[in-house]
Amino acid sequence: MTDKVSTSTASLNKFEKFKAEKDGLAVKAEIEKFASLGWEAMDETDRDHRLKWMGVFFRPVTPGKFMMRLRMPNGIITTDQMRVLAEVIQRYGDDGSADITTRQNIQLRGIRIEDLPDIFEKFHAVGLTSIQSGMDNVRNITGDPVAGLDAEELFDTRELVQQIQDMVTNKGEGNPEFTNLPRKFNIAITGGRDNSVHAEINDLAFVPAFWEEKGSGDKGEGEQQTAQSPTSGSQSRQFGFNILVGGFFSAKRCEAAIPLNAWVPPEDVVAVCRAVLEVFRDNGSRANRLKSRLMWLIDEWGIEKFRNEVESKLGKPLLGAAAKDEIDWEKRDHIGVYKQKQPGLNYVGLHVPVGRLYAEDLFEMARLAEVYGSGEIRLTVEENFIIPDVSDSRLETLLTEPLLEKFSVNPAPLTRALVSCTGAQFCNFALIETKNRALAMIKELEKELEVTHPVRIHWTGCPNSCGQPQVADIGLMGTKARKNGKAVEGVDIYMGGKVGKDAHLGSCVAKGIPCEDLLPVLRELIIEHFDARLREAVTV
């Protein structure tokens, strides 16, 4: 740990102070004690903050009913694990639910503190972990949801994502080396051609790129000066990743990631993650929490110095970036039935309205993945799920299963691309209700409009942007608006977010639209910008 962390406590923000007093991970040893004390008698800093190092979130909106955020490396979960999650929330009746998150992950709701020892034991038995999933830690590491299934993929990301998680969390046991970062940290790897992980909005991202030997490829001049040969001249074209750094959203500032001007072969990815995390941990600002994400450090130093510091932690020079990356497809949403690279097998993507699930859904998803697939489920950053390995002969029967009436393989175009953050139902930062409102409004719009292709509408309850409105065709960010002199729930509207090839962020086009006036505004935007028209029977 740096001098910055240990000595200059006067300049530390309140979060840094409580972390310096007691590391968040220390609560791991106190779970039994908390369970017998109960949430009301616990030390408040342990309860409201440090428990997040175990993935357990106190919810001021539902005191006593905690949220639990898992880790699902590459968005993969087995049916045994899924059943454990189902059992955990089942015991909470109406309070129990789960959400698929925008980081290919699952959060559980309704959790009681007295049940934590039993829950952690169950997790351990099936290889699940929720460790280091909140506060100043590395979040769930995302990878291609169809890794290993997609015939066109360039690289199967599954193993690498797992290795990074193992490094960061010490195989799920907790790793004090990385439990006191200056702020949260997001990592993504994509090995497909469509950037299905939103690489550009992560603090550290790896995108597929071929390194070309000097003279045999089309590397730019600047890059040639720094490039070393990855294979001592034995090969002229090698697969690896260009590195992006510093992407993030926050209430204060949103930035797309920028090139580190570096390329790595797959075998160096874990070491580069470690090096970047060490540089961030030891040098990131701990004074102002609003200016603590990695990009602020890159701004302060400039990308060259940052790159040099990463090299020095890595203990060897980085190669220059490959001249181009291989992201050349539009982004897929994976909903529907698709052939796998394994002959005779298919993956089936099911749409989960705004990612919300209940115990019976989880049990049923597990059953289907076992009966028709290979006992595995994949999650997507659009809050949906995929059942892989369905044989041609079983496909038709799967498509007649009752669960597919709720989780469709062919949803209507606006519903299909709807994403929403948690919002006011459970999140105390929320300025508006999101999930239920998003669903109600999309239902109305589907009734009124004939739409030929999906329009990606993302809702987020506040400027923290967990619902990623800046990547959407139409992004809706909760705010307080005024109507007839009264404060009402409203949204700022974002447009122009582009995903997949040439991804870039959208920007704010309208501010403070009251939610009660939003429906006609959305209708007009969709007609004007996305080739929709009013259904004949509808008059507005």
Please report, as ranges, the residues that interact with ligand SF4 according to CB under 6 A: 421-423, 427, 429-430, 460-462, 464-467
Q: How far is the CB of 69 from ligand SRM (least distance, A)?
A: 6
Contact residues for ligand SRM, defined by CB under 6 A: 57, 59, 67, 69, 99, 101-103, 105, 107, 139-140, 183-184, 186, 201, 248-251, 293, 421-422, 426-429, 464-466, 468
Q: Pairing state of beta strands 474-483 and 507-514?
A: unpaired
Tracing tokens 């470690």 back to the chain, one arrives at 274
Q: Please identify, using beta-carbon distances, which residue of 167 and 491 lies nearer to ligand SF4.
A: 491
**H or E element, residue 76:** strand 76-78
Per partner kind, with CB cut-offs from 5 to 8 A, the member of ligand SRM, ligand SF4, none near residue 157 is: none
Closest distance between ligand SF4 and the C-beta of residue 53, in Å?
A: 18
Nearest approach, Cβ of residue 343 and ligand SRM (Å): 34
Adjacency order of strands within the sheet including 336-339: 76-78, 376-379, 385-391, 345-350, 336-339
- Cβ–Cβ < 8 Å for 523, 219: no
Q: Which is nearer to ligand SRM, 357 or 398 (CB)?
A: 357
Dist. CA 211–CA 199, nearest whole Å: 19
Burial grade of 163 (CB within 10 A; 0-12, 13-18, 19 or more): middle
Which CB sits closer to ligand SRM, 175 or 434? 434
Distances (CA, A) of 474 to 134, 418, 467: 28, 10, 12
Q: Shortest gap between Cβ of 470 and ligand SF4 (angstroms)? A: 12
Residue of closest CB approach to ligand SRM = 250
Nearer to ligand SRM, 224 or 428 (CB): 428
Tell me how far apart the alpha carbons of residues 50 and 502 are, in angstroms, rounded to a whole number: 39
AA identity, residue 393: S
Residues with a catalytic annotation lie at 69, 183-184, 461, 466-467
348 vs 331: CA distance, rounded Å: 17
174 binds, among ligand SF4, ligand SRM, none (CB under 5 to 8 A by kind): none
Type of residue found at 50: R
Residue 206 touches which member of ligand SRM, ligand SF4, none, C-beta under 5-8 Å by kind: none
Torsion angle of C-alpha atoms 117, 119, 122, 127, degrees rounded to 10: -100
CA 138/CA 177 separation, integer angstroms: 12
Kindly tell me which of 327 and 532 has the beta carbon lying closer to ligand SRM: 327
Taking CB atoms, the residue at the shortest distance from ligand SF4 is 461
Q: Which does 102 bind (CB under 5 to 8 A by kind): ligand SRM, ligand SF4, none?
A: ligand SRM
250 contacts which partner out of ligand SF4, ligand SRM, none, CB within 5 to 8 A by kind?
ligand SRM
Q: How far is the CB of 352 from ligand SRM (least distance, A)?
A: 12
What are 244's two structure tokens?
């992006």
Minimum CB distance to ligand SF4, residue 249 (Å): 9
* Cβ proximity of 322 and 335 under 8 Å: no
Count of Cβ atoms closer than 10 Å to residue 41 Cβ: 10
Q: State how beta strands 449-450 and 533-534 pair.
A: antiparallel
CA distance 349 to 336: 5
Bridge partners, residue 387, by sequence = 348
Structure tokens at 137: 């830690």
Q: d(Cα 463, Cα 415) in Å, to the nearest integer?
A: 23
Q: Which option in ligand SRM, ligand SF4, none does residue 367 bind, with CB closer than 5 to 8 A by kind?
A: none
Query: Which partner, ligand SRM, ligand SF4, none, binds residue 101 by CB below 5 to 8 Å per kind?
Result: ligand SRM
> By C-beta, is 183 or 437 nearer to ligand SRM?
183
When the beta carbons of 50 and 69 are compared against ligand SRM, the nearer one is 69
Backbone angles phi, psi at 45, to 5 degrees: -70, -40
The DSSP secondary structure of 54-74, one letter per residue, reads GTEE--TTSTT-EEEE-B-GG
Q: Of 136 and 309, which has the nearer Cβ to ligand SRM?
A: 136
Of the pair 128, 466, the CB lying nearest ligand SRM is at: 466
Task: Work out what residue 139 binds among ligand SRM, ligand SF4, none; the CB cut-off runs from 5 to 8 Å by kind.
Answer: ligand SRM
- Give min distance, CB of 429 to ligand SRM, in A: 5
Residue closer to ligand SF4 (CB basis): 246 or 467: 467
CA 79 to mean position of chain CA atoms: 21
462 interacts with, out of ligand SRM, ligand SF4, none, CB within 5 to 8 A per kind: ligand SF4
Spatial separation of the C-alpha atoms in residues 139 and 186, rounded to whole Å: 5
C-beta of 183: minimal distance to ligand SF4 in Å?
15
Grouping H, G, I as helix, E, B as strand and the rest as coil, residue 508 is: strand
What separation in angstroms does the CA of 307 have from each of 201, 257, 505, 535? 19, 14, 24, 55
Measured CA to CA, the distance from residue 296 to residue 141 in angstroms comes to 21
Question: Are the CB atoms for 244 and 207 separated by under 8 Å?
Answer: yes
Residue 460 interacts with, from ligand SF4, ligand SRM, none (CB under 5-8 Å by kind) = ligand SF4
CB of 250 to ligand SF4, least distance (A): 10
- State the nearest-atom distance from the C-beta of 467 to ligand SF4, in Å: 6
